Structure 1
């Protein structure tokens, strides 16, 4: 039975970028989600639509259907004084509240004696995603 909208799906996956495993839940409990409600990245959800319980597929999700294309405008440089009291490290993720109360995350990409560069893109933005997916249950 193929997947239909609003069904509960259990899924195991392995995610590779450039042949390197970056995430996986193989050997652990599957993720559970309701199909068609936007809980998965759009490109992956679209590509599992015709899968059946017990089926395994390799799926390629282009960046624009995954975490989006990398946007240079989402990187900014700020004075180091704005980060007083923080032991800044390249790769660390900082959280901040917007004026509307939304929490945003930024990755520190460069630290100099005077400035800090932070990137608001998702860490996987601009990456094509190679998934191996197994549908373990359709409820």
Structure 2
């Protein structure tokens, strides 16, 4: 015997609004939605982090949840193969290159991916293409504020 919830449930392609907060275990805030304006997106449209989206599927309207996510469940482990050495001459002369500086690179498909200047060594620049939160445990707090496509 299955019990049907009277509340709408987040589905694989739901259009929804959430309030969320992403932080480190020590409480340091990484990002959060505006208090008066929930974040609206459609599951699977690439707007929100896929690993975090998958945690929302099956939650009912109004549900608040807290997830502690290891690097493998959040933004992945730091991969040394995502460090790439480039010649300083590959960058515009007037571009300031400093460790920690984030630069956007265009892919052949026209997308832009960010990379952080990891190290400067003479005429070489080591770029880190890992997600900035790779290797980090994070806390994801979320509330399902609205499910806009629910005709359940």
Query: Which TM bucket (shorter chain)?
Result: 0.7 to 0.9
Please list every run of at least 4 consecutive aligned residues from structure 1 whose deviation after the TM superposition is greater than 4 angstroms: 36-39, 99-102
Residues matched between the structures, number? 139
Q: Which runs of 5+ in 2 are unaligned?
A: 1-6
Out of 124, 127, 149, which is 1:115 matched to? Answer: 124
Give the Å deviation of 1:52: 2.0
Name the stretch that deviates more: 59-68 or 12-21: 59-68
| TM-score in terms of structure 2 length | 0.76
Instruction: Give the Cα separation in 1 of the matches to 2:44 and 2:95.
Output: 41
Q: Which residue of 2 aligns with 1:53?
A: 61
Out of 3, 12, 26, which is 2:19 matched to? Answer: 12
Task: Specify the structure having the higher radius of gyration (Cα).
Answer: 2
Aligned with 2:55: secondary structure? helix
User: Is the counterpart of residue 63 in structure 1 residue 71 in structure 2?
Assistant: yes
| TM-score in terms of structure 1 length | 0.82
Aligned with 2:17: secondary structure? strand
What is the RMSD computed on CA atoms of the aligned residues?
A: 2.2
User: Is the counterpart of residue 128 in structure 1 residue 119 in structure 2?
Assistant: no
Contact 1:43-1:61 at 8 Å conserved across structures: no
Higher strand share: 1
Instruction: Give the Cα separation in 2 of the matches to 1:122 and 1:94.
Output: 13
Aligned with 1:3: secondary structure? coil
Q: CA, structure 1 residues 56+70, in 2 after alignment: closer, same or farther (shift >3 Å)?
A: same
